[in-house]
Amino acid sequence: MKRIFTFLLILISFSSFSQNGKADFEGSTYFNLGWVFPNMDHVNQFNPKKYDVSTIAGEMELGGIWCFRQVKLSEAGRFGLTGDFLNLGCNYMTFTEKGAAKTSKVITGRWSINLGPNIAIRLYEQTYFDLYGKARLTFCYDHVQTLAIPQGDEGVGIGFRYSAGANFRWKVLYIGGEYVMGRTSAVVYQTFTNDVTDNFFKVKLGVNM
């Protein structure tokens, strides 16, 4: 719990400090929707060679990019921070055994608060390219229904994950891609405890405000 409060305090403190940089290099507050492509290691007991896999997954983000005037990388580049105040996502995955009508399903929901370093490169007026990494404080909900657990089971957990990505900002337009990796340890279900691996790539489209 102490680590959670420290993480939130850092996010708030850096947000306030970095506003000094907006006078000569533009930051951004953004809202975007993401199309998620989960990796199959989320449920490694389902071998893709043995199962037909179907996925529907997406995310939404509300966050910001803050450029520090005091940290100038070049005339066209600034160091800063990026963070998501609200990041919600969900995966719905079904696994049907090839040659049989046996289907299992996994539903994963997550809420995270994210913070990390950002390098913003100004390409032109109101046009920026960003490279960033984030630490992600993640709360996870996982529902599993398999042949071994036909009635289904569900669990919740919390953990730190990590991501790296890039985006392009032009006036109000926001386009990006991000790879998220890591696991939520000791997710407690009704009948067992398990680590949930949830690696995925997402394509993001949104607006700068």
pLDDT tens-digit series, residues 159-205:
889 999 999 999 899 999 999 998 776 677 777 777 777 789 999 99
Q: What is the pLDDT of residues 33-91, one digit of tens each?
A: 999 998 765 555 556 667 777 889 999 999 999 988 777 777 788 899 999 999 999 98
Q: Does 134 have pLDDT greater than 60? A: yes
- Nearest CA to 167 out of 109, 120, 117, 100 is that of 120
Measured between alpha carbons, how far is 188 from 67 in angstroms, rounded to an integer?
A: 40
Q: Does 30 have pLDDT greater than 90? A: yes
Sequence letter at residue 79: F
**Strand-strand pairing, 183-189 and 193-197:** antiparallel
* CB-side neighbour CA atoms (13 Å) of 196: 31
CATH of domain 2-208: 2.40.160.20
Domain chopping of the chain, boundaries:
2-208
**Residues 6+ positions from 189 with CB-CB distance below 8 Å:** 142, 144, 153, 154, 155
| 124 C-beta neighbours (distance < 10 Å), count | 8
DSSP class of residue 191 equals S
Measured between alpha carbons, how far is 67 from 39 in angstroms, rounded to an integer?
A: 33
Which two structure tokens, joined as six digits, stand for 74?
A: 């070049």
CA 82, distance to chain mean position in Å, is 12
Measured between alpha carbons, how far is 93 from 115 in angstroms, rounded to an integer?
A: 28
Whether pTM exceeds 0.75: yes
Q: Does 97 have pLDDT greater than 80? A: no
Of all residues in the chain, the percent with pLDDT exceeding 90 is: 39
Q: What is the pLDDT of residues 195-207, one digit of tens each?
A: 777 789 999 999 9
